[in-house]
């Protein structure tokens, strides 16, 4: 086989563009060279081939090439090698996006681990402040009011931080969106020269965790405040909408009724790249010192409830729209509540200050409290004391709450059990599936309501059992 035949064979079997170019014409070229660079045997030598390396755009593709000097049949030639870099760059871009996504996931995971570790101590401390402030409010309501409000807001901040770890951070309830939006004082956000318009429909309700609706709106208003500055226009609109078909699919939500909240401003706006990154954790257009969760917190809440968020900025100004699944306007059926007066409660919590405050809160409702520092002490007390319900922290040294509850339930299958916790996860332990869970910090009304529901269930069961016994007796 001649040298030329061998080279032709190598050229034709290569998927890389290969060509042999003299100063005047293309001597050899394979099919890939024709496809990628438009070079064919016998063509005039390309002008761009004078350069050692470069790129050629061919339609929607970019082809890189390199020239190497050689000698062919006694004359100086150039060997051209070309390859499609479009696919390579697309793969590199995809890999970059994957790395960025993994980095965001690591940031969120680290935040979740940090907040989960801090949650117990923070929520125990907030529980003491909450309970102490309520007791103070009985004598000095005006002095206690700002402390109670600050405690509630701090609890919501801790709760939303924990939500980034994927934990369940509270019990959903029907939230009156109309009332919550009207309760927000817009003067806290905007100066006298900012024109603020609101249009809020009546009876808007969603299912959400305490504080989530306020967090969404406060974050959106804070963004508008910083975009508008001292002079401008901001509008807040809330309405009921029906999403279905292509519109619902485009937003990535199931068809149905939604509450739509729109915050619009005529501020400095965002660039297209900033719009894409606006919901990233710790991203800010205002410098690293202003970076935080911001819209990432909103996105986290919206995703958890099955809603959607859309950010638009046509140049000047920005519009953020949030869709939250609507809740039924009909109130849920209420369980029978029992009075706490005279109820004997076995309380187990390893935090002395929390134990003391909960004791005072229960005693103020007329209950008698048997307070214990952990599960073993409570188990021992159960041998000597008669009690109507158990309230226990979930995580405690020596014996935790679920173990304590399971042991007491073994002796009394219908024992009312209320778990309290400062950690993120609010799921009912499987050992006592019909128990209730309260996340710290909670106020005396929530404590009273949860315990009264449990005692009401027991009373109902007792009455049902008594009725069945009498019926059986009569039948015999």
Condensed to tens digits (0 to 9), the pLDDT of residues 273-330 reads 777 777 766 555 554 444 445 677 788 788 878 899 999 988 788 999 999 999 875 5
Measured CA to CA, the distance from residue 138 to residue 445 in angstroms comes to: 14
CATH 3.30.450.20 domain position(s) in the chain:
3-84
Q: Quote the distance between the C-alpha of residue 256 and its chain's center.
A: 22
The continuous run of DSSP H or E covering 356 comes out as helix 352-364
Judge if the upstream peptide bond of residue 441 is cis by omega within 30 degrees of 0.
yes
Residues 6 or more apart whose CB falls under 8 angstroms from that of 2 comprise none
344-348 and 389-393 strand pairing: parallel
CA 139 to chain centre: 39
Q: Domain spanning 3-84 has what CATH number?
A: 3.30.450.20
Q: Which residues make up the CATH 3.30.565.10 domain(s) of the chain?
A: 174-333
Query: Rounded distance, CA 240 to CA 328, Å?
Result: 12
| CB within 8 Å of 418: residues ≥ 6 apart | 389, 390, 391, 392, 435, 436, 437, 438, 450, 451, 454
Indicate the SS3 state at residue 309: strand
- Give phi and psi for 417, each to the nearest 5: -125, 130
Residue-level pLDDT, tens digit, the chain, 476 residues: 556 666 667 777 677 888 888 888 888 888 888 888 888 888 988 877 666 788 878 777 888 888 888 887 778 888 888 888 887 777 887 787 777 767 766 766 666 666 666 666 778 888 888 888 888 888 888 888 888 888 877 777 776 666 555 555 556 678 889 988 888 888 778 888 888 889 999 989 998 877 788 888 888 888 888 888 888 899 999 999 999 888 888 888 889 999 999 999 998 888 887 777 777 665 555 544 444 456 777 887 888 788 999 999 887 889 999 999 998 755 545 555 667 888 999 999 999 999 999 999 899 889 999 999 999 999 999 999 899 999 999 988 889 999 999 999 999 988 999 999 887 555 677 778 788 888 888 888 889 888 988 888 765 555 555 444 444 444 43
CATH superfamily of 344-444: Response regulator (3.40.50.2300)
Q: What CATH number is given for 174-333 in this structure?
A: 3.30.565.10
H/E segment holding residue 319:
strand 318-325
Q: Which are the contacts of 281, defined by CB distance < 8 A and separation ≥ 6?
A: 104, 107, 108, 111, 164, 293, 296
pTM of the model: 0.53
- Residue whose C-alpha is closest to residue 443's, from 232, 72, 127: 127
């Amino acid at each position: 086989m001649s040298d030329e035949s061998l080279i032709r064979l190598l050229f034709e079997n290569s998927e890389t563009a290969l060509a042999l170019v003299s100063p005047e014409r293309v001597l050899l070229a394979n099919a890939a060279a024709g496809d990628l660079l438009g070079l064919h045997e016998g063509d005039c030598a390309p002008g761009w081939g004078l350069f050692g390396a470069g790129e050629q755009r061919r339609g929607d593709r970019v082809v890189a090439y390199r020239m190497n000097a050689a000698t062919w049949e006694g004359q100086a030639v150039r060997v051209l090698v070309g390859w499609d870099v479009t696919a390579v760059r697309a793969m590199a871009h995809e890999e970059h996006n994957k790395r960025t996504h993994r980095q965001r996931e690591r940031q969120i995971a680290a935040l979740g681990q940090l907040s989960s570790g801090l949650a117990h101590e923070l929520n125990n401390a907030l529980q003491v402040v909450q309970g102490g402030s309520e007791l103070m409010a009985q004598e000095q309501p005006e002095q206690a009011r700002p402390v109670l409000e600050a405690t509630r807001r701090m609890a919501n901040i801790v709760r939303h931080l924990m939500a980034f770890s994927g934990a369940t951070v509270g019990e959903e309830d029907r939230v009156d969106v109309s009332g919550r939006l009207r309760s927000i004082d817009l003067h806290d956000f905007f100066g006298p020269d900012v024109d603020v318009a609101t249009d809020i429909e009546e009876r808007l309700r969603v299912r959400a965790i305490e504080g989530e609706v306020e967090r969404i709106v406060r974050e959106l208003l804070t963004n508008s405040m910083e975009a508008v500055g001292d002079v401008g226009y901001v509008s807040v609109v809330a309405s009921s909408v029906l999403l279905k078909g292509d519109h619902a699919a485009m937003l990535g939500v199931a068809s149905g009724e939604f509450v739509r909240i729109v915050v619009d401003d005529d501020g400095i706006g965002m660039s297209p790249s900033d719009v894409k990154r606006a919901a990233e954790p710790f991203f800010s257009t205002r410098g690293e010192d202003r970076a935080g969760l911001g819209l990432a917190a909103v996105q986290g809440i919206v995703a958890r409830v099955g809603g959607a968020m859309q950010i638009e900025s046509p140049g000047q100004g920005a519009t953020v729209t949030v869709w939250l699944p609507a809740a039924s306007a009909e109130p849920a059926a209420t369980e029978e509540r029992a009075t706490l007066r005279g109820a004997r409660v076995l309380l187990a919590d390893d935090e002395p200050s929390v134990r003391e405050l909960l004791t005072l809160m229960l005693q103020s409702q007329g209950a008698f409290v048997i307070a214990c520092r952990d599960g073993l002490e409570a188990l021992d007390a159960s041998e000597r004391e008669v009690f109507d319900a158990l309230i226990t922290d979930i995580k405690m040294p020596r014996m935790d709450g679920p173990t304590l509850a399971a042991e007491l339930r073994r002796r009394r299958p219908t024992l009312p059990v209320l778990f309290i916790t400062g950690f993120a996860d609010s799921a009912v332990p499987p050992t006592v599936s019909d128990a209730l869970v309260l996340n710290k910090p909670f106020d005396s009304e929530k404590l009273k309501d949860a315990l009264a529901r449990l005692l009401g269930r027991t009373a109902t069961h007792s009455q049902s059992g008594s009725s069945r016994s009498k019926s059986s007796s009569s039948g015999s």
